[in-house]
Amino acid sequence: MKCPYCNHPDTRVIDSRPAEDGSAIRRRRSCDECGKRFTTYEKVETIPLIIIKKDNNREQYNRSKIERGIIRACYKRPVSAEAIQKTVERIEIKIFNLEAKEVSSTDVGEIVMDELKELDEVAYVRFASVYREFKDVNTFMDEIKKMMLDRSKGDK
């Protein structure tokens, strides 16, 4: 593994343990050249998942796109980076649990919105406004009313 600080090609593992969710191995490494330490994660390589976009184009699944969307939706909200990472993990697990080689972006978007609704309602509405392409304030209000109705049903 190449050192991220000095680019030396050889580093050594000083500690290995399962990552929090158990789906990866966390390795603590040390560079023999500069002496700095860093952490890497080792995951099982899966068959590439293809996302079918709304225009029927296909592209390879990209976790960072989901992360960026959630970070954007949570901008200036009281949501920790750790909570965002755990949300992305749950989303990814749900997507891969579909056990399909191709998944529509609509299905991915719905999974993201379900998770965002639990994480932060304002972030959910922000994401939904872009994802569902709200055209005006009435569409916004309809979504908020639906969310409030769902919330009141959950309280009973």
Report, as an integer, the average pLDDT of 24-34.
92
Alpha carbons within 13 angstroms on the beta-carbon side of residue 11 total 23
Residue 139 lies in a domain: yes
Residue 4 lies in a domain: no
Report, as an integer, the average pLDDT of 20-26.
78
Helices and strands, counts by H and E, the chain: 5, 6
Q: Same domain, yes or no, for 80 and 59?
A: yes
Q: Same domain, yes or no, for 93 and 149?
A: yes
CA distance readout (Å), 100 to 107, 127, 148: 12, 25, 33
Structure tokens at 35: 């002496």
pLDDT digits (tens, 9 = 90+) for 100-120: 899 999 999 999 999 999 999
Residue 1 lies in a domain: no
Q: What is the pLDDT of residue 147?
A: 81
Q: Same domain, yes or no, for 65 and 24?
A: no
Q: Evaluate whether 70 touches 84 at the Cβ level (below 8 Å).
A: yes
DSSP for 51-93, written as a single string:
EE-TTS-EEE--HHHHHHHHHHHTTTSS--HHHHHHHHHHHHH
Q: Evaluate whether 8 touches 27 at the Cβ level (below 8 Å).
A: no
Q: What is the pLDDT of residue 52?
A: 95
Range of the domain at 99: 50-155
